[in-house]
Structure 1
Amino acid sequence: MKKLSILLLLTCLLACTSTPKDQSQTAGKQRIVCVAKQLTELIYALGAGDQLVGVDLSSTYPPAAQKLTKVGYHRMLNAEGIIALKPTVVYHDGNVAPEAVIDQLKKVGVPMKVFSDAHSIVETKALIDTLAAQFGAQKQADSLKTKLDTDLANAAKAVKQYKTTPKVAIIHFGRVINNYLVIGKAGTASYMLGLAGGTNVMDTLKGMKPLSPEIISKAQPDIILVTDFGYDRLGNAEKLATLPGIALTPAGKNKKIYRIEEHDLIYLGPRTGENVQLLMKLIHQ
């Protein structure tokens, strides 16, 4: 009888101290506000999108990200909006502003984790692994990297069918300065353009420069790509052709001005191989 009582007591103690399965699964959940579009896509791709509670305005992929609370553009963040979401951490890539907002977040004790943005395929794979470690998602990470390699290999084969190299200008709307910008040679967009069999005619520019008649008419692009926000502000190729200098280019005269999603061109990620193939079809049509 005494042994039975001891067994019953032990059973009761185990039952009281054990954690139900659903609680143990949610114990590691974070409330993440992510203000870097590259990181946002990767978090979803790794299966951790349910830990996001807010994103910046540029985080538009996947579509689920568009349903989350917006905390401003990553260069024009809103401290109150972030604090109101009660995040356990803010993820960013260092390209955030204004400084006063960052200082305010630090002052109220909101933790921030900085990840280096990836500008090459090697760096992108490393970033995938780094993020995977945050969520215990290495298996998903390995699958993403394998798919990326396969898609890039397919793109490298497909581009061989094209015998010409279109001259392309890429225009992006800068929300901070409220102006259209031309994207220079260095950067992810030009890298992807090269993989797709095109060339960025802005080969003398570094970074982004405000669009001007002199810059665009001198370059004489065959094709102009405009990222989604800037394209949608005017709505069609005819209206975009009225921007400074564009009407004087082959692209403007032939209305070869095409919309491209910013998240497909401005940063690298698990869909980069797919996006190169989409870009390939766009510039060679």
Structure 2
Amino acid sequence: MQRIGVARRLLPSVAIFASLLCLWSPAHANDCKPVADSSRISVAGGSITEILFELGVSERIVGVDRTSNYPAEARELPQLGYVRNLSAEGMLSLAPTLVLGEHDMGPPNVLEQLSRVGVPIVAVPERFDRSGIVAKVRCVGDVVAEADRARAIINALPQAPVPSGAPERGLVILNMEEGAPIAAGADTSGHGFLALAGVENVLDFEGWKPVSAEALAAAKPDIIVITERGLKSAGGIDRLLAHPALASTPAAGSRAVLSLDGMAMLGFGLRTVTAAQELRTYLDEMNSAMQVPVSHDANGRD
């Protein structure tokens, strides 16, 4: 995390693939009920991987998608592609007894191939608030028959922070694409993250979209929240704030920028509430200290 301002893979042989077609049963799951066998889990989604590790069942994971970069041990596991662009052959080569993923895993034809050979598939529902995180943990715990451990994790989950005054107006930038900030509108994890920290999203469109200089000048964000990868792609804090789409905003004037690990912030897993607390603390310090902006750096990953 940075504060700125006061602010693996195995290629299947034809023989292996054919044997898998013959051996797997046709049963499959698509809800949060326990599956018959969760001894070999292919995971699609970083937040699900994090929860499985916290549940103490990481030894069951046989492969993960590219967003599963936390904890560090997850990066040593066989890789299955990106969460929305998975490889059926790669997954089947690992002989999973369960595919467990986030709500948007795919593509659909890959899931169809997996289901056709009888691999249970569970897509965990997503909602971008603290209750959604609780429901996600409960669902994963139920599916892998670790409900008691899931309850303990839920009980230890921090509460969402509460702002002391009127909500600040903020902006979440995922990255810079062809010179334009890609920012969070409604119905996105970015929007939900701001709300979790008690911050009002200045953008009223839906989804992640590029934003023009004119739109951001009119929106007047007090705080810019950006992923660490996004800040790096922008060339650092000075180049980010000098960007025509941001230079005239109040946030640029006060150098009120917070850079956070992207999965921690937007994955809506166990680290997201803590990331929201980071944002809340940053804003409270900014509002109360009223001092000259300084820079604070911390190591982090995105």
- Whether 2:99 is the aligned partner of 1:90: answer yes
**What does residue 90 of structure 2 align with?**
81
- Whether 2:49 is the aligned partner of 1:40: answer yes
Give the secondary-structure state (helix, strand or coil) at the position aligned to 1:47.
coil
Contact kept, 8 Å, 1:211 with 1:244, in 2: the verdict is no
Give the secondary-structure state (helix, strand or coil) at the position aligned to 1:132.
helix
Give the secondary-structure state (helix, strand or coil) at the position aligned to 1:248.
coil
Give the secondary-structure state (helix, strand or coil) at the position aligned to 1:64.
helix
Q: Take 2:176 and 2:237, find their aligned partners in 1: how far apart are those partners? A: 19
Q: 1:209 to 1:242 in 2, by over 3 A?
A: same
- Whether 2:143 is the aligned partner of 1:134: answer yes
Contact kept, 8 Å, 2:129 with 2:196, in 1: the verdict is no
Deviates more, 1:52-61 or 1:234-243: 234-243
Deviates more, 1:99-108 or 1:65-74: 99-108
Q: Which amino acid aligns with 1:196?
A: A
Q: Which amino acid aligns with 2:197?
A: A
Q: 1:230 to 1:166 in 2, by over 3 A?
A: same
**What does residue 12 of structure 1 align with?**
none
Query: What is the deviation of 1:106?
Result: 4.2
Contact kept, 8 Å, 2:40 with 2:98, in 1: the verdict is yes
Give the secondary-structure state (helix, strand or coil) at the position aligned to 2:100.
strand
Contact kept, 8 Å, 2:129 with 2:193, in 1: the verdict is no
Q: Which amino acid aligns with 1:209?
A: K
In terms of Rg, which structure is larger?
A: 1
**What does residue 199 of structure 1 align with?**
200
Per-residue CA deviation, residues 113-139 of structure 1 (Å, 9 max, x unaligned), is: 222123343343333222222333223
Q: Take 1:69 and 1:281, find their aligned partners in 2: how far apart are those partners? A: 37
Give the aligned length. Answer: 250
Q: 1:173 to 1:215 in 2, by over 3 A?
A: same
TM-align CA RMSD: 3.1
- Whether 2:180 is the aligned partner of 1:182: answer no
Larger RCO (alpha carbons 8 Å, 6+ apart): 2
1:99 equivalent among 100, 104, 108 = 108
Contact kept, 8 Å, 1:56 with 1:72, in 2: the verdict is yes
Contact kept, 8 Å, 1:145 with 1:270, in 2: the verdict is no
Contact kept, 8 Å, 2:42 with 2:98, in 1: the verdict is yes
Q: 1:59 to 1:174 in 2, by over 3 A?
A: farther
Per-residue CA deviation, residues 49-95 of structure 1 (Å, 9 max, x unaligned), is: 22112222222222322222322221222334323333222212331
Q: Take 2:180 and 2:64, find their aligned partners in 1: how far apart are those partners? A: 23
Q: Take 1:30 and 1:242, find their aligned partners in 2: how far apart are those partners? A: 51
Q: Which amino acid aligns with 2:199?
A: G
Q: Take 2:121 and 2:96, find their aligned partners in 1: how far apart are those partners? A: 10
Give the secondary-structure state (helix, strand or coil) at the position aligned to 1:247.
coil
Which sections of structure 1, spanning at least 5 residues, go unmatched?
1-26
**What does residue 168 of structure 2 align with?**
166
**What does residue 29 of structure 2 align with?**
none
Counterparts of 1:1-20 in structure 2 under 5 Å?
none
**What does residue 245 of structure 1 align with?**
245
Query: What is the deviation of 1:181?
Result: 1.8
Give the secondary-structure state (helix, strand or coil) at the position aligned to 1:246.
coil
**What does residue 125 of structure 1 align with?**
134
Which sections of structure 2, spanning at least 5 residues, go unmatched?
1-35, 287-302
- Higher helix proportion, which one? 1
2:61 equivalent among 49, 52, 65 = 52
Query: What is the deviation of 1:170?
Result: 0.3
TM-score (norm 1): 0.74
- Identity fraction in percent: 28
**What does residue 262 of structure 1 align with?**
262
Contact kept, 8 Å, 1:34 with 1:55, in 2: the verdict is yes
Contact kept, 8 Å, 1:53 with 1:85, in 2: the verdict is yes
Q: 1:225 to 1:83 in 2, by over 3 A?
A: same
Q: 1:126 to 1:100 in 2, by over 3 A?
A: closer
Contact kept, 8 Å, 1:237 with 1:258, in 2: the verdict is no
**What does residue 71 of structure 2 align with?**
62
Query: What is the deviation of 1:182?
Result: 1.0
Q: Take 2:230 and 2:88, find their aligned partners in 1: how far apart are those partners? A: 26
